[in-house]
Amino acid sequence: MSDLEAWRAKAAAWCESMVPQFGKAARKGLSVEEDLALGRRYQKAKFDAGFAGINWPTDLGGQGLGHIEKIAFEAEEMKHGFPNVYFGISLGMPVPVLMQFGTDREFVKERVLKALQGEEIWCQLFSEPSGGTDLAGLRTRAETDGNGWKINGQKVWTSWAQYSDYGVIVVRTDPTVAKHKGLTYFWVDMKAPGVTVRPIKLAGGDSHVNEVFFDDVRIGDDHRMSPVGGGFAVAMATLMIERYVATDSAGFGPHLDLFVDLAKEVRLNGRPAIEDGRIRQQIARNYAMRAGLDSINVRARLMMQAGMTPGPEGSLNKLVAVRSRQKLSELAIDLQGAGGFAFDAHASPKDDWASSWINAPTGRIAGGSDETLLNTIAERILGLPQDHRPDKGVPFNEIPA
């Protein structure tokens, strides 16, 4: 058995041992606040067992291992529906960026250790009403204020902001230069005066995203994590960290075997739906597609084992998997007839077809919309030229709004 296989076996055994206390059955019927409290206990247990911060430095509370060990653990962890969703953004991007760009190392170490143990949560304040996919189009501004800065503006679609202690934020500090060059990157205290968080209720019934308003929020210059005007590069570094996460060819929806079970149960024209050629064709197409995505994932893992960086092929996984999940969920609802309209707002999108379908559009936007991913595939995989950008090099305050 290789070292990686032994690590995966150890991870699988630990995850199995946590199921009675933290698995899907243990979470059933809990309110969001109760589930978050359970999640904090789970995160602490994960830290104590040596499965938190797997690829982070040991001097900051991590395990000092590689990206491949992290992904191997996450692949086992995601099988059981543990309450770790509240920490995904926090530990996935803001805290690693704080580790890389934070200047006060004692502050950084304290924040990292608390985040790893589930005591603190960080959010990522990027998207805005007028600048989502185009991050450089943001309008939230920071102006000098004595020895510090004053922030005014609005962010939107900020995951778990209502439970966050801190956040990382990109703001415009100079509107007189090209849009990519006038941005600066800070961290902010989410409990500071002038910060207002308003949850947004999504179609699926949950409110994990928020709009966040900043009204004369004062921060010190020690909150700055980039050179003044150099925030876009740090923002890109933040988004690049996202590549080192376990992926799911089911688009984080129900797996194909659940659809096969459904097709055996329901009847179509007086016979089991599984006997209909059109249904069998959809099963075959989905199986082939998911096998292809799994192969891309395996290739990425092998590249990481060899010390290489995975390429932009990962864009294919999210683009294809979530779109496929939406179409398969729609077919599953259609097969159930009137029974497919039954909706449980507390059901998991990984187990319930209606929940999967209604939440799929959110998945197609979060972490890069379909259009953004198509551009990435066109430019970085197929080598096609970039789209024409009429605002390139134009000072931001001269761009028509």
- The whole-angstrom separation of Cα 137 and Cα 168 is 17
- The whole-angstrom separation of Cα 239 and Cα 158 is 14
Q: pTM, whole model, 2 decimals?
A: 0.89
Cβ partners under 8 Å of residue 99, min gap 6:
56, 57, 60, 108, 112
CATH 2.40.110.10 domain locations along the chain: 123-241
CB 122 within 8 A of CB 134: no
CATH 1.20.140.10 domain locations along the chain: 256-381
Helix axes 353-365, 314-335, angle to 10 degrees: 150
Cβ partners under 8 Å of residue 107, min gap 6:
none
CATH 1.10.540.10 domain locations along the chain: 3-120
Nearest-5° Cα angle at 53, 222 to 60: 45
Lookup: tokens for 136: 């450089």
Instruction: Indicate the CATH number for domain 123-241.
Output: 2.40.110.10
Closest by CA to 255, choosing from 219, 293, 208, is: 293
User: In this structure, what are the phi and psi dihedrals at residue 31, rounded to the nearest 5 degrees?
Assistant: -75, 170
Radius of gyration of the chain (CA): 22
Query: Which CATH fold would you assign to the domain 3-120?
Result: Butyryl-Coa Dehydrogenase, subunit A; domain 1 (1.10.540)
Superfamily of domain 256-381: Butyryl-CoA Dehydrogenase, subunit A, domain 3 (1.20.140.10)
Q: Three-state SS for 108?
A: helix
Concatenating the DSSP letter of every residue in 149-218 gives: EEEEEEEES-TTGGG-SEEEEEEES-TTSBTTTSEEEEEEETTSTTEEEEEE--TTS---EEEEEEEEEE
**pLDDT one digit per residue (tens) for the chain, 401 residues:** 678 899 999 999 999 999 999 999 999 989 999 999 999 999 999 999 999 999 999 999 999 998 889 988 998 999 999 999 999 999 999 999 999 999 899 999 999 999 999 999 999 999 999 876 788 899 999 999 999 999 999 999 999 999 999 999 999 999 999 999 999 999 999 999 999 999 999 888 889 999 999 999 999 999 999 999 999 999 988 876 655 565 678 888 899 999 999 999 999 999 999 999 999 999 999 999 999 988 888 887 777 777 777 677 777 888 888 999 999 999 999 999 988 888 888 888 888 999 999 999 888 887 778 888 888 889 888 999 988 888 888 999 998 87
